[in-house]
Amino acid sequence: MQKFRNKYVGILIGLVVVGLAVRFIVAASMYGFKVDMDDFAVWGSRMVCVGPAQFYAGDYWCDYPPGYLLVVWAVSFIGDALHASYASPLWLIVHKSPAIICDCACAVIMWNVVRRFLNERPHSEVWALMAAGCYLLNPAGIVDSAAWGQVDGVLAFFLVLMFACYMRGVMIARDTVDGEGYRPLLWMVAGSALWALGITMKMQGIIVAPAVFFAFLLLIKRERKMGLIALAASIVTAFVVVLAVLAPFAPKVGFAALISRFMATLGSYELASVNALNFFTMVGAGWVGQSEPFLGLTYRLWGTIALVLLVIFTFACFIRAWKTDNRLSVVLPVLMAAVLVVGFFTFSVRVHERYLFCAIPLLLMAAALYRDVHLTVAFCLVTAIETYNMIIVMNGAYLMDTPPFQTFACGVMVATCLYVFARSWQLSGKVEHTANSACAERPGYPQLVEPNEPNEPIECNDPIEPTESVESPEPIESTKPLESLEPIESAEPAGRVE
C-alpha cells in the first residue's frame, strides 16, 4: 500500500510541476487584461511610494478591498527588488504569481481532503488525483490567473482551505466520543479566520455565508456546547481579522471610512448583467440598468427574489441532509457553496464574467467527495462556460447585443444551473451505505453491524421440541483396509427442530 501511495504522491508532484510550468509560460507571454493589470501596477506603485496609511488620502479611487492591496504592495516591492522592468516577462510573472501559487496550493489541498475523507474506499486515490489534476490543468484557471492576470484563484484558495478546516472539525466531533477535547473548535475558528481573510481579498466570498452557517450547525448537532462556543469565537475571530487587515490603512481616513469603502465595492456597476453569460444577458439585459422594468418588476427586484429563493433552496437541502444524519452530510456545506455561487452568477444582478470562477473548485471538490459523475459533468460544463466567457471579454467583447452563439451559451448556463440544483437535491438525501469499515463497499466483503446499534433479539414463535436421545454406536474394529469398509447405516436421526 505504501508503494502505491508513493506512486500517487509522485504523480501529484508531476501535475503540480506541469501546472506551474504552463501558467508561468502563459503569464510571461501575455500582458493580460489591460484595465486590470494597469490598475494593479498603479496601486502597487502607490503602496510602495506612500504606504498603506496614505493610500486612500485625498479620496484616492480604488475598487478593490484592502486585503489584496497588501498583496499588491508585496508583489510590487519584490518586482522593484528584482529590477523587473514594466511589462517584461519577469515583471508579468511576479505580478501574476500570487494567483498562480494559490491555484497550485488549492489543488494540493483538494487532493489531501478527498484522500482523507474517502479513506481507502474504492478508487479513493483516483478521485483525489482527478480533483487535483482537473484543477491544475483547468483552462478557466489558466486563463484567469496566467492570461488575464486576475486574482479569483486567491479567493478560491481561501474558500477551499476554509471548507477543509470546517470538514476536519466536524469529522473529529463526529468520529470520536469526546470530540478530542477542543480540537473541533480550533479547526472551525481557523476556517472562519480564513474566510474573513478571503473576503478582504474579494468581497464575493460573502456569497457562501449560508454554507458556512450549515457547517456550524453540523458541529452544534454533534457537540452542542462546543458548537455554540465555536460559532461565537469564530464571529469574534473574523471581526478581528478584518480589523487587522484594515488597520494599516486606518491612520489617515479612520475605520468608518475604510469600512464604507470596503462595502462600496459591492455596490459598483448597478447593472442587470456585466459581461456575464447568465439569465439576464440571455433576455437582452446586458449592461442595462438594474432599475429598468422587466415583466412587471425591475431587474434588481427579480435578482433579489432569485437570491431569496436560492437561500431557501439551500436550507431545504440542508434540512433534508439533517434528517438522514449520515457521514455524507459533512460534505454538504461544500456542495451548497457551489450551488450558491452558480445560482448567484446565473440569476442575480450586477454579476461580472468571473463571478462564476469559485464554483469550479467547489464543484470539483464536491464531485470527488461524493464520487458523483453528475457533478463531474456539471463541473465540465461550468468550466467550459467560464473559460469561453473570459476569453470573449479579454478579446474586447461587451455583452450588450449578444449574437446567437453567446445567447446559446447563456441558455446552456441556465440549464447547467438547474442541473446542479436537481442533483444537489438528490445528493442532500443520499445515505452512504457502508458498515463500520471502509472496506465494506468492496464486493464480497462481509457486512458488519454498526456498534452503536444493538442486535435485535430473534423472536421464536414455535416451541423447540426436545431431541430424542440417541445411543452411540459400538466402535467397529476394522479388519479390512479402510477403503474397502462397508457403508455404515446411520442411527435414527434426532427430532427435527422447527
Q: In whole angstroms, give the CA distance from residue 74 to residue 93.
A: 14
pLDDT score for 39:
92
Q: pLDDT tens for residues 465-481?
A: 554 544 555 555 544 45
Tell me phi and psi for residue 460, to 5 degrees.
Answer: -125, 110
Which position has the grid cell 457502508? 434
In which band, very low, low, confident or very high, does the pLDDT at 432 lie, cut at 50, 70 and 90? low
Instruction: Kindly report the number of other CB atoms within 10 A of residue 474's CB atom.
Output: 6
pLDDT score for 358:
96
Q: With contact defined as beta carbons under 8 Å apart, do 185 and 225 qualify? A: no
- Chain mean pLDDT for the chain: 84
pLDDT score for 441:
41
In which band, very low, low, confident or very high, does the pLDDT at 368 lie, cut at 50, 70 and 90? very high
H helices of 290-372, where?
Answer: 299-324, 332-347, 359-370
Q: In whole angstroms, give the CA distance from residue 487 to residue 492.
A: 16
Coil, strand or helix: which one is 466?
A: coil
pLDDT at residue 457 greater than cutoff 60: no
pLDDT score for 460:
47
> And the C-alpha cell for 421?
440544483
Lowest mean pLDDT among 8-17, 79-88, 214-223, 465-474: 465-474
Length of the chain, in residues:
498
Q: With contact defined as beta carbons under 8 Å apart, do 441 and 121 qualify? A: yes
Q: pLDDT tens for residues 75-109?
A: 999 999 999 999 899 999 999 999 999 999 999 99
pLDDT score for 266:
67
H helices of 51-151, where?
Answer: 66-81, 89-118, 124-136, 139-141
Q: Among positive and negative, which fits the CA dihedral 250, 253, 256, 261?
A: negative
In which band, very low, low, confident or very high, does the pLDDT at 417 lie, cut at 50, 70 and 90? very high
Lowest mean pLDDT among 220-224, 324-328, 340-344: 324-328
Contacts of 460 (CB under 8 A, 6+ apart): none
Report the share of the chain in percent with pLDDT over 90: 60
In which band, very low, low, confident or very high, does the pLDDT at 486 lie, cut at 50, 70 and 90? low
DSSP code at position 271: B
DSSP code at position 286: B
pLDDT at residue 265 greater than cutoff 60: yes
Q: With contact defined as beta carbons under 8 Å apart, do 185 and 172 qualify? A: no
The secondary structure element, H or E, covering residue 293 is strand 293-294
What are the distances in angstroms from CA 498 to CA 373, 467, 491, 494? Answer: 50, 11, 21, 12
pLDDT score for 456:
47
Lowest mean pLDDT among 207-221, 256-270, 381-395, 447-461: 447-461
pLDDT score for 467:
47
pLDDT score for 495:
45
pTM: 0.84
DSSP 21-63: HHHHHHHHH----HHHHHHHHHHHHHHHHHTGGGTTTTT----
Which position has the grid cell 478521485? 127
In which band, very low, low, confident or very high, does the pLDDT at 297 lie, cut at 50, 70 and 90? very high
Instruction: Kindly report the number of other CB atoms within 10 A of residue 413's CB atom.
Output: 27
Coil, strand or helix: which one is 495?
A: coil
- Position 99, amino acid: A
Nearest CA-CA partner of 361 in 136, 97, 188, 195: 136
Instruction: Kindly report the number of other CB atoms within 10 A of residue 239's CB atom.
Output: 12
pLDDT score for 426:
92
The pairing of strands 273-274 and 351-352 is parallel
pLDDT at residue 160 greater than cutoff 80: yes
Q: With contact defined as beta carbons under 8 Å apart, do 44 and 76 qualify? A: yes
pLDDT score for 38:
92
pLDDT score for 444:
38
Q: With contact defined as beta carbons under 8 Å apart, do 382 and 359 qualify? A: yes
In which band, very low, low, confident or very high, does the pLDDT at 440 lie, cut at 50, 70 and 90? very low
Report the share of the chain in percent with pLDDT over 70: 83
Nearest CA-CA partner of 435 in 425, 422, 448: 448
pLDDT at residue 491 greater than cutoff 90: no
- Position 92, amino acid: L
Contacts of 322 (CB under 8 A, 6+ apart): 217, 221, 329
Query: Distance of alpha carbon 249 from its chain centroid, rounded?
Result: 31
pLDDT at residue 496 greater than cutoff 70: no
Q: pLDDT tens for residues 173-195?
A: 877 655 556 888 999 999 999 99
E strands of 337-439, at which residues?
A: 351-352
Q: Between these two residues, 175 and 454, which has the higher pLDDT value?
A: 175
In which band, very low, low, confident or very high, does the pLDDT at 443 lie, cut at 50, 70 and 90? very low
What are the distances in angstroms from CA 415 to CA 65, 82, 279? Answer: 33, 48, 10
Q: In whole angstroms, give the CA distance from residue 481 to residue 498.
A: 41
Lowest mean pLDDT among 126-135, 149-158, 184-193, 483-492: 483-492
pLDDT score for 255:
80
Q: In whole angstroms, give the CA distance from residue 179 to residue 171.
A: 9
